[in-house]
Amino acid sequence: MDRDRIAVDYWDNAYAGGMYADVGPDAFVDRILAVAAPGTSGVEIGCGNGRNLIPLTRAGLDLVGVDPSRTALDQLATRAPQLTLVHGTQEDLPPGRRYDLVIGIQVHQHGTRTDARALLRGSLARVAPGGLFALRTASADTEAVEAHELLDAGADGGRTFRYLAGFKAGLTVHYYGRRELEALLRDFEPVLPLRAEHTERRDPPPGVWAHWETIVRRPV
């Protein structure tokens, strides 16, 4: 099976079914706006249908949105036709282009450990000297309550699941450990130090979502 095709089909179907249609922006948006000055240019990796991209640009950031889901981008283009959007992944951005701000909100956990870490490293490589990388991603403290297969559990605290049931059925998700993320971000300077956030699930079955949040700067 083509894992990437399965994932794109999943997100196309999810957005067609109304995912994030009535959901406000993530609270992480405010933390980004607290450190990124109006006019800052950048890119949101995995922008979806604009839940976070629209409020970020309305606040004055000059952002490009990238997403592999054509359904999501079509919805976003209808809501905000003035935005520049790229259908694909960060690999489809101009070769060698770096940005003053790179944003990834709940996107860098998708795929196997190798996939997720490659995506994260690729995003870090897109940050210009002196630029910011804003990351919110899945934490290994998350309670995996749906049926799943554990693919790996690293000494660095990270672990990877393939979901067998629930709304993520068929998806592979990597959950980062603190030591794992600290190692991946070690060449960057903290602006918002790595912090853990735990929230109760709003959808059944009950459990706790756990995420890491941080904003780091590439040294000049």
Q: What are phi and psi of 48, to 5 degrees?
A: 60, -140
Residue 201 CB: number of other CB atoms within 10 A? Answer: 13
* pLDDT surpasses 80 at 3: no
- Predicted confidence at residue 2, as pLDDT, reads 41
Confidence of residue 93 (pLDDT cuts 50, 70, 90): very high
pLDDT (tens digit, 9 = 90+) per residue, 178-187? Answer: 999 999 999 9
Among the residue ranges 51-55, 118-122, 146-150, 199-203, the one predicted with the least confidence is 199-203
**Rounded average pLDDT over 14-36:** 94
pTM of the model: 0.94
CA dihedral 177, 6, 17, 51 (to 10 degrees): 40
Domains, the chain, ordered by start: 3-217 (3.40.50.150)
- Predicted confidence at residue 6, as pLDDT, reads 53
**Rounded average pLDDT over 46-60:** 97
* pLDDT surpasses 50 at 1: no
DSSP string for 123-159: HHHTEEEEEEEEEEEEBTTS---S-EEEEEE-TTS-E
Of residues 116 and 3, the one with the higher pLDDT is 116
**Rounded average pLDDT over 119-145:** 96
Mean pLDDT, rounded, of the chain: 93
Confidence of residue 76 (pLDDT cuts 50, 70, 90): very high
